[in-house]
């Protein structure tokens, strides 16, 4: 028995030795190479571990493990994750072209994309898609992701949709030819005050610059000379898109940003002097979720004294990632450099390598420290002190961009009742039902948005429906005071949501911004 055991171990060791020798010859590694050490571990585990292992997952876990010990923004994504992540940056995906939401486990069309494949065949707002290629998607507890995967597909392919339409007894069937559907990164643009335009950028992708120029041209035709640029909650995106946007505001040869790393030489990005908004007043809006590419634009405008920044200290992401495509479609995003604002600020907030949790909790920690509600709670070391390039105003690096005009977070606006109703999607769901039942009447009563903005008031029946559904789910005001404090912002939110569903996001922000402290401060600054 002992002889047999020794023989088995000898054969196993010999086999492993042969595998490792072959691997070493393939990659020509030295004996003490870290890469050889990693490969020995992988080969040993894959061939000798007591249970079967998924070798592909083994390698993925090893890659994730390496990157997790670096900075918080180096990451690995699977082929599926990579495809999903790249769609917003590329500016399009392939599908049927509808904005939708889920109501009672059924997909309801909010708006078909203008001139998109669904609109072309006659699908309208309010339609419910109940089947895809004769497979039911309504009432079967299917996830939103699964429904989206069935609706999307390669350009030119056909999909048969079963539609239930209000006022039509029989189920309708439409065959839609999938096409390229644009992903817009400009959330809204409109004239917010006479002579003042407003543009909100949601993210920075391949089409952002062109979208921005189109929006700016439209506003300038309507008489806009000054601009409020809203970058609140903008998590960033492509560096080049940010450079192109900043270029629209600056004079020839003005430095926009520069990048530099251990193995990456310094690279300067400068304005070409052909920007569309080189004159006129500019105010940039930021908050604690403004990050990365959005901070590049903000830093350039602030450091070059081109405009003022209003809001709260930004997120503080000053690291540049390079995508490294892997053969199976997966991708590594590896941090290769820091970026610096024109005054030389690196605004990356401090982090401990490998401590992702503490980094992710930074905004929550800011709230606990009082930083989001009180400017005096924010402290910068003298070593982080810089000056703007023209007026020599003091600015700071080392953890986001500090606005020129601080606007505290209003923690009283959202009551616990409001937060609980929103968390259960009760507000959105009841709003969708209301619009679905009254769309024709609303369009007839308010043919133009200006009519709606000036005359529409949220009906009591809609508020009652929200509170009644809340009580069914054991959500209710603790007293009448909380109820009365909840009503003003709830009415505003509902009016904005109804405007969005009848028109688009520009109309949503045209209503919601009238009660935004940051936007109202920006208008005050731009007038001064």
- Whole-angstrom CA distances from 365 to 123, 237, 241, 288 are 47, 25, 31, 11
- Whole-angstrom CA distances from 390 to 290, 297, 485 are 25, 17, 46
Q: Which helix (H) or strand (E) holds 362?
A: helix 362-369
Helix (H, G, I), strand (E, B) or coil at 434: helix
Burial 407-417 (b: 16+ CB within 10 A, else e): bebeeeeebeb
Long-range contact set of residues 456-462: C-beta below 8 Å, sequence gap at least 24: 456/495, 456/498, 457/491, 457/495, 458/491, 458/494, 458/495, 458/498, 459/434, 462/430, 462/431, 462/434, 462/494
Burial class for 460, CB neighbours closer than 10 Å (0-12, 13-18, 19+):
exposed
Query: Contact, 82 vs 90, CB < 8 A?
Result: no
Q: How many other CB atoms are found less than 10 A from the CB of residue 13?
A: 11
350 vs 328: CA distance, rounded Å = 34
Structure tokens at 343: 């005054």
- Using alpha carbons, select from 169, 168, 170, 167 the residue that is nearest to residue 437: 167
- Whole-angstrom CA distances from 13 to 19, 44, 55 are 10, 10, 20
CA contacts within 13 A on the Cβ side of 162: 12
187 vs 506: CA distance, rounded Å = 7
Please list the active-site residues: 292, 303, 317
Structure tokens at 9: 């171990």
Helix (H, G, I), strand (E, B) or coil at 186: strand
188 vs 218: CA distance, rounded Å = 12
Q: Which residues pair with 255 in a beta bridge?
A: 270
Q: How many other CB atoms are found less than 10 A from the CB of residue 217?
A: 12
Structure tokens at 235: 């998590």
- Using alpha carbons, select from 231, 153, 155, 139 the residue that is nearest to residue 186: 231
97 vs 113: CA distance, rounded Å = 5
- Using alpha carbons, select from 351, 358, 354 the residue that is nearest to residue 400: 351
């Amino acid at each position: 028995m002992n002889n047999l055991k020794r023989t088995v171990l000898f054969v196993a060791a010999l086999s492993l030795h042969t595998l490792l020798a072959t691997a070493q010859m393939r990659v020509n590694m030295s004996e003490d190479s870290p890469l050889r050490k990693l490969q020995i571990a992988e080969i040993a585990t894959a061939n000798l571990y007591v249970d079967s292992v998924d070798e592909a997952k083994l390698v993925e876990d090893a890659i994730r493990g390496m990157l997790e010990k670096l900075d918080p923004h180096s990451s690995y994504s699977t082929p599926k994750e990579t495809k999903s992540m790249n769609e917003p940056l590329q500016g399009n995906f392939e599908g049927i072209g509808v904005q939708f939401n889920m109501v009672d486990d059924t997909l309801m069309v909010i708006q078909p994309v203008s001139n998109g494949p669904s609109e072309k065949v006659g699908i309208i707002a309010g339609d419910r898609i109940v089947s895809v290629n004769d497979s039911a998607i309504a009432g079967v507890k299917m996830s939103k992701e699964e429904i989206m995967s069935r609706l999307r597909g390669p350009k030119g392919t056909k999909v048969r949709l079963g539609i239930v339409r209000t006022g039509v007894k029989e189920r309708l069937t439409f065959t839609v030819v999938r096409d390229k559907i644009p992903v817009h990164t400009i959330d809204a643009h409109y004239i917010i005050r006479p002579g003042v335009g407003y543009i909100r950028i949601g993210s920075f992708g391949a089409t952002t610059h062109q979208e921005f120029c189109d929006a700016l041209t439209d506003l300038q035709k309507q008489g806009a000379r000054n601009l409020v640029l809203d970058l609140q909650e903008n998590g960033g995106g492509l560096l080049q898109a940010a450079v192109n946007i900043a270029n629209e505001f600056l004079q020839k040869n003005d430095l926009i940003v520069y990048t530099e790393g251990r193995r990456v030489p310094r690279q300067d990005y400068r304005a070409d002097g052909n920007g569309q908004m080189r004159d006129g007043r500019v105010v940039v809006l930021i908050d604690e979720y403004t990050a990365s590419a959005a901070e590049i634009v903000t830093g350039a405008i602030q450091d070059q004294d081109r405009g003022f920044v209003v809001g709260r200290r930004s997120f503080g992401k000053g690291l540049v990632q390079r995508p490294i495509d892997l053969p199976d479609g997966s991708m590594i995003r590896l941090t290769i450099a820091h970026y610096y604002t024109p005054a030389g600020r690196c605004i990356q907030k401090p982090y401990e390598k490998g401590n992702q949790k503490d980094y992710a909790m930074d905004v929550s920690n800011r709230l606990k420290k009082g930083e989001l509600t009180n400017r005096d709670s924010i402290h910068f070391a003298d070593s982080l002190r810089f000056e703007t390039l023209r007026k020599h105003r003091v600015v700071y690096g080392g953890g986001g961009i500090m606005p020129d005009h601080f606007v505290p977070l209003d923690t009283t606006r959202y009551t616990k009742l409001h937060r609980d109703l929103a968390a259960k999607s009760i507000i959105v769901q009841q709003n969708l039902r209301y619009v679905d039942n009254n769309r024709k009447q609303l369009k007839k009563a308010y043919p133009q948005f200006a009519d709606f903005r000036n005359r529409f008031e949220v009906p009591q029946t809609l508020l009652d429906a929200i509170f009644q559904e809340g009580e069914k789910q054991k959500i209710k005001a603790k007293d009448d005071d909380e109820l009365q404090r909840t009503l003003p912002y709830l009415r505003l939110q509902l009016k904005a949501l109804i405007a969005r569903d009848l028109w688009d996001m520009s109309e949503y922000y045209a209503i919601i911004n009238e009660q935004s402290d940051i936007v109202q401060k920006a208008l005050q600054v731009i007038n001064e």
